[in-house]
């Protein structure tokens, strides 16, 4: 019995040991998953944190890349056509304005140093309207330069002394083709009539008088009843007659252009409103095949210039039949 009891006691102890070991083993198995589970959670959290922080890095990186790419692309694309369009348009508009200087970049007809018959003819034309003095020559020198400068200044042209196309064309429009006498410096012989050869009017016998006769179509410069010289004149038509009576010179001007008819009236001496004694290139060219618009036309420029320089403002003018 005792032996059996001992055996049973030993077995019981053994059983307890086994149970205890099993319990310990179970306990150890229960902790093992907890540790790994706790350790796995930490890396997982770290991994998810890293994952969540990675997208922001990628996300902001992507937007700038996306927004920057279109912006430069759109800007140049828009700017390029805009810039090119005006630039392409402006040169087209610049060409016409660039052509303007070429058009007014006037062609030079004659200039200092030139010589020949064309120079002589131009000098003769300048002399017709009082800009050139003395004999005409074939040489474009200082006298011609000064004459052209004066002619240009009077008309508001650039004062260069060079006969460019604009200057030359205006001169042609204001003058007539020079006669062979003018080109040869042959002056017309002044008419110095005696008392019996001029149309005497009693109003012309006292003092200094410009006596103009419609009957003889002549103008006579008279001093104290003595005729000094005379010149042919032309009058207005029936529609625009030259007024008759006793007048006085009210205004004088060498270079005049009619504001109504736009014709030259060199060496004008106004005596009755807009009516004046003046040189007429048309009268010199066509004679009495025509008429004035009321003025007294003179065709002898040399004598007219002499009278112009002699008769001051206030001189008596008598127009009679």
How far does the chain reach from its first CA to its final CA, in angstroms?
199
Q: How far apart are CA 21 and CA 111, in angstroms?
A: 136
Asked if residues 319 and 296 have their Cβ atoms less than 8 Å apart, the reply is yes
**Residues 153, 155, 158, 162, CA torsion sign:** negative
Residue 200 gets which letter from DSSP? -
CB 135 within 8 A of CB 190: no
- The answer to whether 204 is a known catalytic residue is no
Q: Which residue out of 204, 262, 293, 295 is catalytically annotated?
A: 295
In degrees rounded to 5, what are phi and psi of residue 233?
-135, 160
DSSP bridge partners of 264: 257
Task: Identify whether the C-beta of residue 225 lies closer than 8 Å to the C-beta of residue 200.
Answer: no
Please report, for residues 78, 92, 109, the alpha-carbon distance to residue 88 in angstroms, rounded to integers and kept in the order given: 16, 7, 38
- By the 10 Å C-beta count (0-12 exposed, 13-18 middle, 19+ buried), 313 is classed as exposed
CA distance 22 to 2: 30
The residue annotated as part of the active site, out of 204, 262, 278, 293, is 278
Phi and psi, residue 119, nearest 5°: -65, -45
Return the structure tokens found at 181: 């006498």
Q: Is position 278 annotated as part of the catalytic site?
A: yes
Select from 282, 316, 277, 320 the least CA-distant residue to 295.
277
Q: How far apart are CA 276 and CA 71, in angstroms?
A: 80
Indicate which residues carry an active-site annotation: 278, 295
């Amino acid at each position: 019995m005792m032996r059996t009891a001992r055996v049973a006691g030993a077995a019981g102890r053994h059983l307890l040991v086994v149970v205890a070991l099993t319990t310990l083993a179970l306990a150890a198995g229960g902790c093992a998953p907890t540790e790994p589970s706790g350790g796995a959670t930490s890396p997982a959290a770290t991994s998810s944190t890293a994952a969540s922080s990675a997208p922001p890095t990628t996300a902001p990186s992507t937007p700038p890349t996306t927004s920057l790419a279109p912006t430069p692309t759109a800007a140049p694309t828009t700017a390029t056509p805009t810039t090119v369009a005006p630039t392409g348009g402006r040169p087209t508009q610049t060409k016409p304005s660039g052509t303007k200087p070429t058009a007014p970049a006037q062609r030079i007809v004659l200039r200092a140093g030139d010589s020949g018959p064309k120079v002589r003819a131009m000098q003769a034309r300048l002399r017709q309207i009082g800009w050139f003095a003395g004999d005409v020559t074939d040489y474009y020198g200082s006298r011609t330069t000064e004459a052209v400068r004066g002619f240009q200044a009077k008309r508001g042209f650039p004062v260069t002394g060079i006969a460019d196309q604009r200057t030359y064309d205006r001169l042609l429009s204001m003058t007539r083709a020079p006669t062979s006498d003018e080109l040869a410096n042959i002056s017309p012989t002044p008419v110095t009539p005696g008392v019996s050869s001029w149309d005497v009017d009693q109003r012309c016998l006292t003092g200094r008088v410009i006596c103009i006769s419609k009957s003889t179509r002549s103008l006579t410069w008279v001093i104290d009843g003595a005729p000094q010289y005379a010149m042919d004149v032309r009058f207005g038509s029936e529609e625009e007659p030259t007024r008759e009576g006793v007048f006085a010179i009210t205004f004088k001007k060498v270079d005049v252009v009619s504001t109504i008819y736009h014709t030259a009236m060199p060496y004008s001496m106004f005596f009755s409103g807009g009516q004046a004694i003046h040189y007429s290139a048309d009268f010199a060219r066509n004679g009495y095949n025509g008429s004035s618009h009321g003025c007294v036309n003179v065709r002898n420029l040399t004598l007219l210039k002499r009278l112009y320089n002699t008769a001051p403002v206030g001189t008596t003018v008598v127009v009679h039949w």
